[in-house]
Structure 1
């Protein structure tokens, strides 16, 4: 996928019936279906059953099985409730006889209320002064581990620019946080809020769990640690545009019992908090 139009084409599901939809998969460089794709396709399925103009404000989900890239995914939507202000949907994603993912999503009508938010970090470099993943691959690809280089060279519908370039060979523990600027490729004009939320949901599964390795970087890396998303939650606060850089700020409150827990805030470049996410993931040391 090269741009947002191609991404939305993947996220836009084929309707089988009023509450059942089929999706296809695109690789992001891993052997299994990307979790962000399943998340965003499930949001697309839930939105297709919302006919009252309400917008997604939160989602809670569990990854149950690794998805097969070569098989279609069927999304079944259960209409839980349409109340006076909120609508609730439950989405099940299935491949063959296996349920691989479940999601609960809540939609809210537009209302006026109080306003408050945490501020965006200001003591970090701006995207204009940073290298993208593609830049890093072109400059350092020959020196990187083969799996890292292969991952970085995949063409994506988004540009990622980490504020700190990590050296995978340094073997030094790092602080438990990361900040990554990202910008969607292609024409983002005239996208609906539903489409923008699906794109943001897709991108929210990048960069979030990797930060859980940072406090253990002297001994843990992707080569010797089994990593997998277990659950993912997200909250959407305000409408936003995708035509400029957004900041994905992650912190890691805890790692224990072969799991890592991460939190993220997503701000616009001018400081508006548009969404937050949490994820717990498996980070199991591989046996030698």
Structure 2
């Protein structure tokens, strides 16, 4: 497969070993650890495959416990915590080489008519096609992409476009608001399984969220002065969506202290309807 979107769908297609046990691939890549969005997306697939299709996931809460090793399969063990009249709860433990690396609890809700509805409006409802692709913006600034970044761009399953221009110097980032916004969509069709689209957005939600923490500190696409890792991740799914259609991901960091930075995200469709809410804390240590 050469299409990164097809590879993403394949990555989310877990092998069922037992009724409640699944195995996921972990591609051999030149990374120190398995990408957290991959583990979260695969864990949610495992949970969803044990739930009736008429109950979409409405929330997940997860902890990254140990870094996963690229190239080594990950086993997902699902505990059927509760099957109620309208809510279903699953707990998933991700194990690699005999060690737990990730825990996730997901709740599924039989759709029902709400008594009322409201939402905060988006701040950046611009046309995504009017914005440069991330790889093109970086390539134009650097006069080309270094080979590792070129390989990453070819494997990227999502088209990412920053609403605000990227900052490239310490002077530009000084006193910048800890906010970021990107338009995203899968680079190809993902099929029609709603669970795959939900898990694809779960994958994507970990790609840029901690940008908001770093924006006042250093350029996002220059040399890093900090090592960073996701500590936990929470999502709430408000409305149905497709991950292969444009969605706006607005991100902000209300606080960074004690070596940890908190980031919040809101995901909207092109009509400005809020689809997903995200919260994550990351660990930041000087290199």
TM-score (normalised: structure 2): 0.90
Structure 1 position 272, deviation (Å): 1.1
Counterpart contact for 2:12–2:196, Cα < 8 Å: no
Deviation digits for residues 50-109 of structure 1 (CA, Å, limit 9, x no counterpart): 136211000000001111012110000001111121111000001112111000000011
Q: Does 1:248 align with 2:249?
A: yes
Counterpart contact for 1:240–1:274, Cα < 8 Å: yes
| Distance 1:249-1:85 versus aligned 2 partners, 3 A rule | same
2:43: which partner in 1? 42
Q: Does 1:2 align with 2:13?
A: no
Structure 1 position 154, deviation (Å): 4.1
1:160: which partner in 2? 160
* Structure 1 counterpart SS, 2:17: strand
Q: Which runs of 5+ in 2 are unaligned?
A: none
Task: Write the distance in 2 (CA, Å) between the matches of 1:143 and 1:192.
Answer: 37
What is the correspondence of 1:86-165 to structure 2 with a 5 Å cutoff? Answer: 86-113=87-114, 114-122=116-124, 125-142=126-143, 149=149, 153-165=153-165
Task: Write the distance in 1 (CA, Å) between the matches of 2:217 and 2:135.
Answer: 26
2:57: which partner in 1? 56
| Distance 1:99-1:206 versus aligned 2 partners, 3 A rule | same
| Distance 1:107-1:278 versus aligned 2 partners, 3 A rule | same
1:74: which partner in 2? 75
Which 10-residue stretch deviates more, 76-85 or 152-161? 152-161
1:15: which partner in 2? 16
Structure 1 position 240, deviation (Å): 1.6
Task: Write the distance in 2 (CA, Å) between the matches of 1:151 and 1:230.
Answer: 27
Q: Which runs of 5+ in 1 are unaligned?
A: none
Counterpart contact for 2:88–2:109, Cα < 8 Å: yes
Task: Write the distance in 2 (CA, Å) between the matches of 1:105 and 1:90.
Answer: 6
Counterpart contact for 1:40–1:201, Cα < 8 Å: yes
Which 10-residue stretch deviates more, 107-116 or 135-144? 135-144
Cα RMSD for the two superposed structures: 2.4
Counterpart contact for 1:134–1:152, Cα < 8 Å: no
